[in-house]
Chain A
Amino acid sequence: MNFTAPNILACLLAAAVHGLVVFLLLTNWHNTEPDTVKIDKIYALPARVIHENPIKAEKKRQLEKNQQAAIRRQAQKAKLQADNLARINREQIKAEALKKMKAAEAAQKALAEQQLDRSSSVDDVDKAQLAKQQALKNQQRKEWEDALGLEIEAEQIGIVAITDDEKAKAFVAQIQRKIIQNWSRPPSARNGMQALLRVFLVPTGEVVNVTILESSSNDAFDQSAMLAVRKARLFIVPAKARQFDRNFRQFEVLFRPDDLRL
């Protein structure tokens, strides 16, 4: 091949074609970055780190106990006094009432008997109604509880939601719960620490990799967060490949000592 102008031009064009292809491959033009899922409702575990001195705390608890005991004793005393007073009063009243009653008794006897009959029948009706109401209440409560239970169960396997977005949220919630369950916060965790992790899943829901995007600058905390994801090992993820790819092939988890959010 001789080096005439068209030949050189052909070489340059061929180089340009290959350069373009390599460039497209390197710049990831097909955008593999995961979309982030927006979550309104956060399932957070309200756990707080408390710094407490065990001896002091024990003393404080004892003190509180003593105080409560004292209050209770005082209350008992007061009650006793009041009871005594009331008894004396009652006895006086009783004595007076007894006289009166004896006088009235004879006169009221006939009337009282009639009233007694009537009131007993009213009582019966009241009781029946009360029982009915109770039964209704029980039933309602049971229904409500059943519904709640179902909802929780459904949420765990992610089938209660109707739209894709809701579904994604259900799956996210489930993943969060699983991570929380497996997370044991290290003693060195402090409020305000946070570690951002990226989790890589395969379509079966298995965790293939976890990387730290933003470290909390505390190794123990970072490691505990990574261990939590690793121990969770398997998440329930959408069966639809597209949905899985969009939200769950890679996602980020933010770990904080007081809560955990995705």
Chain B
Amino acid sequence: MNEQLSILELMLNATLVVQVVMAILLLGSFISWIMIFQRFFTLSSIKREAVEFENEFWSGKDLRQLYTELEATEGDRIGMEHIFSAGFKEFSRLRKQDGADAEHVMQNVQRAMRVAVSKEEERLETSLSFLATVGSTSPYIGLFGTVWGIMNSFRSLATVEQASLSIVAPGISEALIATAMGLFAAIPAVMAYNRFSAQVEIIMNRFESFTDELSGILHRAIHA
């Protein structure tokens, strides 16, 4: 014990259990921050692309032309483009077959779009469950480390003849670091989870209303 107990030193001198707990929490925190940034980028890009696509869709362009343009572009179609292309592909394929029942066509188109929407939802919600897990369990993990550390420091106190504060203080301080780390991991994770799930909800609503609008348009086209 020299001038000041540095936190790093405390962590390095901690008991194995507490160190493992700290390592788990550090890892959890690190991964959850990666997820937070990744989700942030993904969600904002999906939102932006949805707005752009809706603008294009409602600009009065021919839907067939829009579809061929989308097919021509490289890479994965995500978000609204995916839903649109899935629905329109089904529609144009069924229209080519003669004698297809209009009702049957519409059902198939809607089914295709529903599948696309649920795939998009899956894409939006990846790693949100991880954030929720980190947010809810890491305080408990930290608490476990703290309880363990305090337990040990009191046990070491029992064997000492002259009990003094300086014997238990480092142990308790070291143990409390675990709780601090747990909270450090949990707080951003919970906040990010709440924010992202709200955003996902908004985006999903948008997708669903787009699906309805598209099927309405296709329905009109089929009965025209």
Using a CB–CB distance below 8 Å, which chain A residues touch chain B? 1, 6-7, 9-11, 13-15, 17-18, 21, 25-26, 28, 32, 198, 202, 206, 208-209, 211, 250
Contacts and interface: CB of A to CB of B under 8 A. Distances in A.
B63 interface: no
Contact of A206 (B29, B31, B36, B165): B165
A237 to B, nearest CB: 14
Contacts of B36: 10, 14
B38 A10 contact: yes
A127 B217 CA distance: 131
A26 B8 contact: yes
B178 to A, nearest CB: 14
A17 B2 contact: no
Contacts of A13: 33, 37
B58 interface: no
Given A6-B41, A14-B37, A25 B30 contact: no
B135 to A, nearest CB: 16
Given A13-B33, A14-B33, A208-B166, 16 more contacts: A6-B41, A6-B42, A6-B45, A7-B34, A10-B35, A10-B36, A10-B38, A10-B40, A10-B41, A14-B31, A14-B34, A18-B26, A21-B184, A206-B165, A211-B3, A250-B3
B33 A32 contact: no
A17 B8 contact: no
Interface in B1-57: 1-4, 6-8, 26, 29-31, 33-38, 40-42, 45
Interface residues of B, number: 25
Contact of A9 (B6, B41, B164): B41
Given A18-B29, A209-B1, A10 B37 contact: yes
Nearest to A207: B166
A14 B35 CA distance: 9
8 contacts: A7-B38, A10-B34, A10-B37, A13-B37, A15-B30, A18-B26, A18-B33, A209-B166
A198 B41 CA distance: 52
Contacts of B1: 209
B166 A28 contact: no
A18 B30 contact: yes
A143 B82 CA distance: 99
- The CB with the most chain B CB atoms within 10 A, among A6, A14, A208, A250, is that of A14
Nearest to B126: A1
Given A26-B8, A32-B4, A198-B3, A208 B34 contact: no
B209 to A, nearest CB: 27
A222 to B, nearest CB: 16
A26 B41 contact: no
A11 B1 CA distance: 36
Instruction: Please name the 10 residue pairs, one residue from A and one from B, whose CB atoms are nearest each other, closest first.
Output: A10-B37, A14-B33, A10-B38, A6-B41, A14-B34, A208-B166, A13-B37, A10-B34, A25-B7, A11-B34
B166 A14 contact: no
B29 A208 contact: no
B163 to A, nearest CB: 12
B44 to A, nearest CB: 10
A10 B32 CA distance: 10
A10 B40 CA distance: 9
A10 B38 CA distance: 5
A250 B41 CA distance: 48
Nearest to A11: B34
A203 to B, nearest CB: 9
Contacts of A1: 38
A166 B40 CA distance: 56
Contacts of B7: 25-26
Contacts of A209: 1, 166
A233 to B, nearest CB: 11
A105 to B, nearest CB: 94
